[in-house]
Structure 1
Amino acid sequence: MKKLETIQEVMNFINENHLVFLYISQENCSVCHALRPKLIELLKKYPKIELREVEADKVKELAAEYLIFSAPTLLFFVAGKEYFREGKFVQFKKLEAAIAQIYSFEDRAQMQVPKQ
């Protein structure tokens, strides 16, 4: 998983991609390391979602900008707006349901756009 290393990279990534998933971790966080492969595996089902990791202890401004109080924190953005947030004890069924809902909505919306 690619990492973003500055707050500007994070903001640009969110604003330049339609479906964005940020995985906020910390270097010495065992829960963070355990969740990472599960998240990567889950998002393989949703190839239009761009995934990046940010280490909160290295990008200090992240906490203030996105109100991150613990790690891991998972943030899902749609068109630059936060759609879903999950922290610490991630419920993967709830997470997958939220992703599936917005993903299917996005697919339907794209099918309805008239071609020019």
Structure 2
Amino acid sequence: MEQIQSYEEWIEIAQSLDSLLLFVKTDNCSVCDGLLPQVAALQSDYSLPFYMVNIADAPEIAGQLSLFTAPVVLLYKEGNEYARFARFVQMNELNKRLGELEEWGKHVD
């Protein structure tokens, strides 16, 4: 999972990819620390890129994306937010949405 360091970097990535997953965490967040490895483990099952940002390091991202808690998992399709999972992420629902994005990607190519 690649780390995003700034809002500018995020904008470049979001505009250049058809679909992606963004994992948002913050410092001293036990829920974030517990969820990150579970989400990262899914990366090998899907072709879309996974990114992570610590909003303590890039707070502008939280404001621009209207993030009020952590962790948040955001899925993007064609530059738009496709799904949002906040705080307690149900992994079966995340898997379902990732599968939808994967299928969409096959039809676009």
| TM-score between both structures, scaled by the size of structure 1 | 0.88
Partner of residue 31, structure 1: 31
Query: Gaps spanning 5+ residues in structure 1: where?
Result: 111-116
Q: Distance in 1 between matches of 2:6 and 2:101?
A: 28
Kindly indicate whether residue 108 of structure 2 is the aligned counterpart of residue 109 of structure 1: yes
**Equivalences, count:** 109
Structure 2: runs of 5+ lacking an equivalent: none
Cα deviation for residue 105 of structure 1 reads 2.4
Aligned CA RMSD, in angstroms, stands at 1.1
Contact between 2:26 and 2:70, CA under 8 Å: does it hold in 1? yes
| Identity value in percent | 25
Q: In structure 2, give the amino acid aligned to 1:98.
A: R
Instruction: Measure, in 2, the Cα distance between the counterparts of 1:61 and 1:105.
Output: 30
Q: Distance in 2 between the 1:40 and 1:27 partners?
A: 18
Q: Could you tell me how far 1:106 is from its partner in structure 2? A: 2.0
Structure 1 stretches of 4+ with a deviation exceeding 2 A read none
The answer (yes or no) to whether the contact 2:19–2:101 under 8 Å persists in 1 is: no
Aligned-pair CA distance for 1:29: 0.7
Name the CA distance, whole Å, in 1 between partners of 2:85 and 2:51. Answer: 15
User: Radius of gyration: which is bigger?
Assistant: 1
